[in-house]
A and B are shown apart, each in its own frame.
Chain A
């Protein structure tokens, strides 16, 4: 009997002992590093909804499509526009049409030649209402592309309804990728839905098991430099801690988004490399600038006070574990149109003083935040609530809901139906032009016509944005955006928090995984270290 008890105790403790022993001896067995020509295993957090280029909405899914299907133009590591399938382009004098010269001697992965017809086919498909969930964005609608014309085999001309300054930038989006016209009729593809993209990219679609993995193999006849890995497998691992376990146990070579609170520990591990990739995503607390429940928030000085009340640097250090940079403008530095404006340095005394003067001391504000949509989102909202309380406000929340409910309840409602005073939101322009960031400060985008959920309205800012969005002179556009940004900054429709980074981890056996400013991490050109 006594023996049994002892045995039971020993068994029960075995796991703990094993775990404890492992702490010292961990990593005695090197992770099985991939060999040249071998396989790269990447673990991502979401299961791509679709691999149809035309229907892309998320960067993680887009970066996979990017490996198989290429766009006419792309961005480099600094965010500058670079040729890809097009070699050059020119704008007509009226600013309404663009002619692209295409790369010669490129073939699709199914052998179909790449030419102007294929470009027209792909863009027409993007604009077609029959394409399932097509996401033409600014390229579509009444203001986007009106027609695509084949000039000759290597020249294609786009004509727009209205002038759109960032048109070429918008063509860097994965939705504008060029696919083989023949491939849409090869099952399981249909003209309306593509499950297996056939493009011109350095990797070819090989296999997909829904919810589990996507396998791509090197395209041996790629027109550009050859990729290093013969095979790349993107595994879907929704839980961050599981992805971390996977790379620590040798089951993955690259993982996206480790749990933020483990970033310091991962950085200390010499067998791993933590890369805080760039992103153009700003994270902010949206202030209801037409607030009826708390009309004091309609005053710019009150909103400025809220900006002074929050210690952004401390939040970045303690809650974001360094995976962010403070904002010094209402947009990320990588956008065209950015200029440095200043900072609302943490100053609780000043904040209290300003609130006192505005008669806003002790006012009640409701704060909401999504959970798990952005890195540490809810935790950051909790920290913000703490700072606002310290400034003497009566903060209700943060409360949270799932994302679809959040969008429907707080972001997509007009000023009359507003249900909160403050809401945490991230905004990541799909291409690196201030035009996309200013969708957040442009009053024609007040919901339901857009997601400008601060309801901010400044006629001068609106006029500057309208002009800059259609401008043809880059220097002038830059100045107009900069001027508008300065007004936005002082009107403070947001508590400007930070520009999020996009953390990913590779083993030290892998090099060449790079982050792009549009929040993609590119494994295409990775190689064994």
Chain B
């Protein structure tokens, strides 16, 4: 399993180089000269030229690309053209915020999603099932932006129990953005759990387990859920990407200073080095999460072995 993980990580290197190249090229295909955006409308041509020199934009494209790749090989992502600070610093101050938000949402989505899915499967075609399935559809279909604002109106403006935006009230500040971000994934996880459980609950070994006198909880959790877990795990693994994508909107609505907003601000300012850095970071996280998901398969289902 260790060799397998090592091999997967090794294969990831060309993937990352490819990502770096594609991002580099795509950014430069975007219309919009960073120097002009930075300099603002009243800048003189001399000023714009000076900024272009400072950002290295006067060099030919291939030299810019080579410079980028060489620096990347040294672990240097460059200087943010928007702020003048190192990209590593810009990103590392934002990562804890997004990580906290994504993790809190994932925990919420898994705990409530799986529980609701099991309940719905257990009480198939009852009012509870209808309510949960309806709720899941609601969670999946609600636009994050709108949902976030509605939650703010109810819990911050009307009830005044939670802050409307920002990070200054610790865990209280985390509640609304985490719930907003979690609802979509929660819905998906609940639906996936419900269908996987339904499939398993109809099988012979479940009937056998019941027949031999196993308790209700034991049948559900130890026998049924364990066997239904693979597709659920896949869904959860895929949710990570969704969470990061949703984080862009959630972070904007709730003024949460994470990676998503850094990315949006940086694209708006044509801050090439930061955009490149953030996309690389996201790619690395995707690769790692996918690998972890695959490794978890083997843990959950002993029949799966990686050699």
Could you tell me which A residues sit within 8 Å of B by CB distance?
A: 1-2, 4-5, 8, 12, 15, 18-19, 22-23, 26, 29, 43, 47, 49-50, 52, 55, 57-58, 129, 132-138, 140-142, 188, 192-193, 195, 209-213, 235-239, 241-243, 245-246, 248-251, 402-405, 407-409, 411-412, 427, 429-430, 436, 439, 448-451
Contact A141 B163 (CB under 8 A): no
Contact A137 B47 (CB under 8 A): yes
Of B102-110, B122-130, B293-301, the stretch lying at the interface with chain A is B122-130
Among B41, B46, B258, contact of A142 (Cβ-Cβ < 8 Å)? B46
Contact A5 B131 (CB under 8 A): yes
Contact B157 A439 (CB under 8 A): no
Query: What are the 5 A-B residue pairs with the smallest beta carbon separation, nearest first?
Result: A404-B32, A211-B257, A22-B158, A8-B131, A5-B127
Among B31, B53, B94, B254, contact of A242 (Cβ-Cβ < 8 Å)? B254
Among B39, B127, B158, B261, contact of A19 (Cβ-Cβ < 8 Å)? B158
Complex: how many Å from CA A99 to CA B41?
Answer: 30
Contact A408 B31 (CB under 8 A): yes
Complex: how many Å from CA A251 to CA B269?
Answer: 29
Encoded as 1 (CB less than 8 Å from any A CB) or 0, chain B from 6 to 41 comes to 000000000000000000000000111110111111
Known: A18-B158, A250-B160. A50 touches B37 (CB 8 A): no
Complex: how many Å from CA A66 to CA B307?
Answer: 64
Contact A246 B164 (CB under 8 A): yes
Known: A4-B126, A407-B32. A242 touches B255 (CB 8 A): yes
Complex: how many Å from CA A450 to CA B40?
Answer: 11
Could you tell me which B residues sit within 8 Å of A by CB distance?
A: 30-34, 36-47, 50-51, 53-54, 81-85, 90, 93-94, 126-128, 130-131, 135, 149, 152-154, 156-160, 163-168, 252-255, 257-258, 261-262, 265, 267-270
B44 CB contacts on chain A under 8 angstroms = 136-138, 140-141
Known: A211-B94, A237-B165, A251-B163. A245 touches B156 (CB 8 A): yes
Contact A57 B127 (CB under 8 A): no
B31 CB contacts on chain A under 8 angstroms = 404-405, 408-409
Complex: how many Å from CA A412 to CA B38?
Answer: 14
Return the chain A residue nearest B151 by Cβ: A15
Return the chain A residue nearest B265 by Cβ: A47
B157 CB contacts on chain A under 8 angstroms = 22, 26, 245, 248-249
Complex: how many Å from CA A249 to CA B94?
Answer: 26
Minimum C-beta distance from B281 to chain A (A)? 16
Contact A135 B43 (CB under 8 A): yes
Contact B268 A211 (CB under 8 A): no
Contact A242 B127 (CB under 8 A): no
Complex: how many Å from CA A480 to CA B41?
Answer: 24
